[in-house]
Amino acid sequence: MNSQPIEKQSQATAPGFFQRLITPHPSLQEIGVRRRAQLLAALSLIVGALLIVGLIFGSVMAITSWSGILVLAGLALAALLGYFLSRTRWFLGGSFIITLDLMAIAYWLIWNHQDPQRSLIMAIPLALILGSVLLPLWGMALVSSAMVVATFLLILIVPGVSVESMITDGLAFLVMGAAFLVVAAFRNSLEQRRLEEVQKANRDLQDQRSTLEKQITERTRSLEQRNTSLQVINEFARLTSQAHEEAGLIDQSVHLLGELYHHGHVGIFLVDDLNENAILSASNSQEGAALIVDRYQLKMIAGAMTALVSESDFVTYHFGHAVYRVARPNLLRDKQSNFTFPMAVGERLLGLLNIQTAATAPAVLETETLQALTDEIALSLQNIRLLAQLQSRTTEVNKLAAQTVRSSWDRVRQGGSLGYHYDQLHILPVSESFPREITRQLQAGQTSTYVTADDPPHSRLVAPIVLRDEVIGVIGYEDQESAHEWQLEEIALLETIAARVALALENTRLVDEAQRRAEREQMLGKVSARLRASLDIDTVLQTAVQELKKSLNLEQAEVRLQVAGPRSEEKKRSRKESDRKVIPPEPPSSTSAGA
Give residue-wise pLDDT tens across range 526-581.
778 877 777 777 787 788 777 777 777 777 777 776 654 545 455 555 554 554 44
Same domain, 369 and 429: no
Per residue in 222-240, is it b (16+ CB within 10 Å) or e — as a string?
eeebeeebeebeebbeebb
CA distances from 173 to 126, 143, 161 (A): 11, 11, 17
Q: Which of 152-161, 218-227, 466-475, 483-492 has the lowest average pLDDT? A: 152-161
Kindly tell me if the per-residue pLDDT of 390 is higher than 80: yes
CA distances from 180 to 13, 31, 134, 135, 218 (A): 37, 22, 12, 11, 55
Please indicate, yes or no, if residue 280 is contained in any of the structural domains: yes
Same domain, 459 and 357: no
Residue pLDDT, tens place only, 52-61: 887 777 666 6
Per residue in 443-474, is it b (16+ CB within 10 Å) or e — as a string?
eeeebbbbeeeeeeebbbbbbbbbbbebbbbb
Domain-ending residue, one of 337, 368, 387: 387
Give the whole-angstrom CA distance, residue 587 versus residue 572. 10
Q: What is the pLDDT of residue 581?
A: 40
CA distances from 347 to 46, 320, 389 (A): 93, 6, 20
Kindly tell me if the per-residue pLDDT of 587 is higher than 60: no
Q: Mean pLDDT score of the chain, rounded to an integer?
A: 77
Q: Vertex 287, ends 281 and 293: CA angle to 5°?
A: 45
With 0-12 / 13-18 / 19 or more C-beta atoms within 10 angstroms meaning exposed / middle / buried, residue 256 is middle
Q: What percent of the chain has pLDDT over 70?
A: 80
Kindly tell me if the per-residue pLDDT of 295 is higher than 80: yes
Q: What is the pLDDT of residue 4?
A: 43
- Residue 31 identity (one-letter amino acid): I
Give the whole-angstrom CA distance, residue 214 versus residue 458. 91
Same domain, 262 and 153: no
Same domain, 77 and 190: yes
Contact between 249 and 239 (Cβ < 8 Å): yes
Q: Which of 70-79, 420-429, 497-506 has the lowest average pLDDT? A: 420-429
Q: Which of 213-227, 412-426, 576-590 has the lowest average pLDDT? A: 576-590
Q: What is the pLDDT of residue 9?
A: 44
Same domain, 462 and 382: no
Q: Is the dihedral of CA 60, 64, 67, 73 positive or negative?
A: negative
Q: What percent of the chain has pLDDT over 90?
A: 7
Same domain, 324 and 460: no
Kindly tell me if the per-residue pLDDT of 269 is higher than 90: yes
Kindly tell me if the per-residue pLDDT of 501 is higher than 80: yes
Give the whole-angstrom CA distance, residue 10 versus residue 16. 10
Kindly tell me if the per-residue pLDDT of 595 is higher than 60: no
Residue pLDDT, tens place only, 98-155: 777 777 777 777 666 666 666 667 677 777 777 777 777 787 788 778 777 777 777 7
Domain ranges, residue 461: 420-495
**Nearest in space to 476 (alpha carbons), one of 453, 500, 495:** 495
Give the whole-angstrom CA distance, residue 144 versus residue 130. 12
Instruction: Give Cα 276 distance to the centre of its chain.
Output: 34
In sequence order, what DSSP letters do the residues of 285-341 get, joined into one string? SHHHHHHHHTT-EEEEEESSPPTTS-GGGEEEEEETTEEEEEEPPPPPTT--EEEEE
Between residues 416 and 400, the one the model is more confident about: 400
With 0-12 / 13-18 / 19 or more C-beta atoms within 10 angstroms meaning exposed / middle / buried, residue 200 is exposed
Kindly tell me if the per-residue pLDDT of 76 is higher than 90: no
Q: How do strand 265-271 and strand 348-357 relate by DSSP bridges? A: antiparallel
Kindly tell me if the per-residue pLDDT of 450 is higher than 90: no
Between residues 410 and 444, the one the model is more confident about: 444
Contact between 106 and 124 (Cβ < 8 Å): yes
CATH value at residue 352 = 3.30.450.40
- The contacts of residue 170 (CB under 8 Å, 6+ apart) are 148, 151, 152
Start-to-end CA distance of the chain, whole Å, equals 139
Q: What is the pLDDT of residue 282?
A: 92
Same domain, 461 and 383: no
Q: What is the pLDDT of residue 475?
A: 86
Kindly tell me if the per-residue pLDDT of 13 is higher than 80: no
- The contacts of residue 513 (CB under 8 Å, 6+ apart) are 408
Q: What is the pLDDT of residue 58?
A: 67
Please indicate, yes or no, if residue 12 is contained in any of the structural domains: no
Confidence of residue 208 (pLDDT cuts 50, 70, 90): very high
Between residues 39 and 390, the one the model is more confident about: 390
Query: 29: part of which helix (H) or strand (E)?
Result: none
Q: Is the dihedral of CA 442, 444, 448, 453 positive or negative?
A: negative
Give the whole-angstrom CA distance, residue 592 versus residue 574. 9
Same domain, 342 and 442: no
Please indicate, yes or no, if residue 583 is contained in any of the structural domains: yes
Residue pLDDT, tens place only, 394-411: 888 888 877 877 777 777
Confidence of residue 512 (pLDDT cuts 50, 70, 90): confident
Please indicate, yes or no, if residue 553 is contained in any of the structural domains: yes
Contact between 98 and 123 (Cβ < 8 Å): no
Instruction: Give Cα 338 distance to the centre of its chain.
Output: 21
Between residues 538 and 210, the one the model is more confident about: 210
Query: Where is mean pLDDT largest: 30-34, 43-47, 316-320?
Result: 316-320
**Nearest in space to 332 (alpha carbons), one of 373, 280, 377:** 280
Please indicate, yes or no, if residue 301 is contained in any of the structural domains: yes
Q: Which of 200-214, 221-235, 319-333 has the lowest average pLDDT? A: 221-235
Same domain, 269 and 362: yes
* Rounded mean pLDDT, 306-329: 76
For the chain, the domain total comes to 4
Please indicate, yes or no, if residue 200 is contained in any of the structural domains: yes
CA distances from 278 to 290, 292, 310, 445 (A): 16, 12, 18, 46
Q: What is the pLDDT of residue 204?
A: 92
Domain-ending residue, one of 204, 234, 268: 204
With 0-12 / 13-18 / 19 or more C-beta atoms within 10 angstroms meaning exposed / middle / buried, residue 123 is buried
Same domain, 471 and 544: no
Please indicate, yes or no, if residue 27 is contained in any of the structural domains: yes
Q: Which of 304-308, 387-391, 496-500 has the lowest average pLDDT? A: 304-308
Q: What is the pLDDT of residue 212?
A: 92
Same domain, 195 and 49: yes
Please indicate, yes or no, if residue 96 is contained in any of the structural domains: yes
Domain-ending residue, one of 149, 177, 204: 204
CA distances from 207 to 216, 218, 507 (A): 14, 16, 88
Give the whole-angstrom CA distance, residue 141 versus residue 131. 9
Same domain, 137 and 269: no
Per residue in 125-160, is it b (16+ CB within 10 Å) or e — as a string?
bbbbebbbbbbeeebbbebbeebbebbeebeeeeee
